[in-house]
Amino acid sequence: MGTLSLKQTLSDHQGRVWNVSWHPVKLMLASCGEDKKIRIYLHEGGKYVMKLILAEGHTRTIREVSWSPCGQYLASASFDATIAIWENKGNKFECSATLEGHENEVKSVDWSWSGHLLASCSRDKSVWVWECFNDEYECDAVLSEHAQDVKKVRWHPHEDTLASASYDDTVKIFQDCTDVSEWKCVATLSSHTSTVWSLSFDESGSRLVTCSDDKTLKIWQQYQPKNIPGIPTPNDVAVWKNVCTLSGYHTRTIYDVDWCKKTGLIATACGDNTIRIFREENDSDINQPNFSMVSATENAHSSDVNAVRWSPKNPGELASAGDDSKVNIWFYSD
C-alpha cells in the first residue's frame, strides 16, 4: 500500500470549490468555484502562495478551469453559459475573449494537445469545438450527439480526438473526419448505468478511464482495425471496449478521475469524502487488465471531493478540490 500525504491546504475560496488545474510548465495552480472567482497559486519558498484572484469574468459559478498546453492561456467554463479566455501578461491576467453560444450552463472546457483547438460542453446537451488562431476563436463544430447534459470534455494527449461524458450514461468519441472534413461521433461507449461524471486518457491515448454516479470506474481499450486479438471493427473504424470495471471501492458518486501520464496512477474524487489511488498490476494483460487500489484517504476533504489532478511537472503530486471550500495538495509515495 502507498501513502497519500497532505502537504498543504489552501482555504481561500468561499463556498464549494469545483475544480483545480495545474499549469503545464510552472509549479502553478488555478482553482475555481461557487464564489465566481479564479485563484492562481504559485510555488514559492516551499509552498503554494496565492498570487492573483481573477474576478468579474463570470456572473455565475465557475465550474472548470483549464490551462493551454503553452501555459499562456487559461480557459474558464461557467454556469453563466460562457467560456472566458484569460491571457497571462506577466504579473496579471487579462480576459482576452469571451466565447458565447451555449444555451445554458457550460460544464467543462479543455485544450487539445497542440493548443489550436478548444472543446466545451453544456447542459444544453452539445459539445462545441473551437478553433483558436491569433487570439481569435471560431466555432468549428456543434456536436449534438448526447441525449442529455454533457458533464466533461477531454482531449486525447497527442491527437485531435475528443471524448465527452454525459448524464445520458454514455461517453462519446469525436474526430475530424478528413474524408468529409467534418467533426463526427466515431464511437459511443455504453456500459455505465448512471451519469458519467468524468474521464481521462492514459499517456498512450489508446486507453480511457471513466467514472460514474453508478459508483464504478471503467477502463476502455481502443482496438484498431485488424487488431491482433481479433476484436471486430465494423466499417473499419476503431472500437472502444470496456476491458475492466472497478466496483465495490466507492460508496457514493465518483465525481472525477485522473490518469497520471507520468506514473500511470489513477486517482478518484468521490462523494464519500475519500480520495482513492489505483495502480495497474505488473502482470496485467492489456486485453483484460487488473488494477488494485493502493491507497484510500478517508476524509481527504470534510465533504464531497469534486476534482483530482496529478501534477504534470512533479510526479506523485496531486491537487484536489472539495465542497468544504478547500484545495488540498498531496504527495503520493509507495
Partner 1 sequence: MEEKLENINPKLYGKIEERVVTVDDENEEVVDDFDAREIFDLIKNINDPEHPLTLEELHVVEERLIEVDNQKNLVDVKFTPTIPHCSMVTLIGLSIRVQLLRALPSRFKVNVEVNPGTHSSEAAVNKQLADKERVAAALENKHLVSVINQCVSVKN
Q: In the complex, which residues of this chain contact partner 1 (CB under 8 A)? A: 16, 34, 60-61, 63, 79, 104-105, 107, 123, 149, 151, 167, 194-195, 213, 252-253, 271-272, 302-304, 323-324
User: Cell digits for 316?
Assistant: 506523485
What is the nearest approach in angstroms of partner 1 to the Cβ of residue 266? 22
What is the nearest approach in angstroms of partner 1 to the Cβ of residue 79? 5
What is the nearest approach in angstroms of partner 1 to the Cβ of residue 217? 19
Nearer to partner 1 among residue 54 and residue 270 (C-beta): 270
Sheet of strand 207-212: strand arrangement: 196-201, 207-212, 217-223, 239-246
Which amino acid, one-letter code, is at 201?
F
Nearer to partner 1 among residue 213 and residue 280 (C-beta): 213
CA angle (32, 35, 38) in 5-degree steps:
30
Nearer to partner 1 among residue 34 and residue 110 (C-beta): 34
CA distance 109 to 17: 16
Nearer to partner 1 among residue 236 and residue 298 (C-beta): 298
What is the nearest approach in angstroms of partner 1 to the Cβ of residue 60? 5
Cα atoms in the Cβ-side hemisphere of radius 13 Å centred on 104: 7
Q: DSSP per residue over 158-197, as a string? A: SSSEEEEEETTSEEEEEEEETTTTEEEEEEEEE--SS-EE
What is the nearest approach in angstroms of partner 1 to the Cβ of residue 320? 17
Evaluated on CA atoms 84, 198, 162, 281, the torsion sign reads positive
Nearer to partner 1 among residue 212 and residue 221 (C-beta): 212
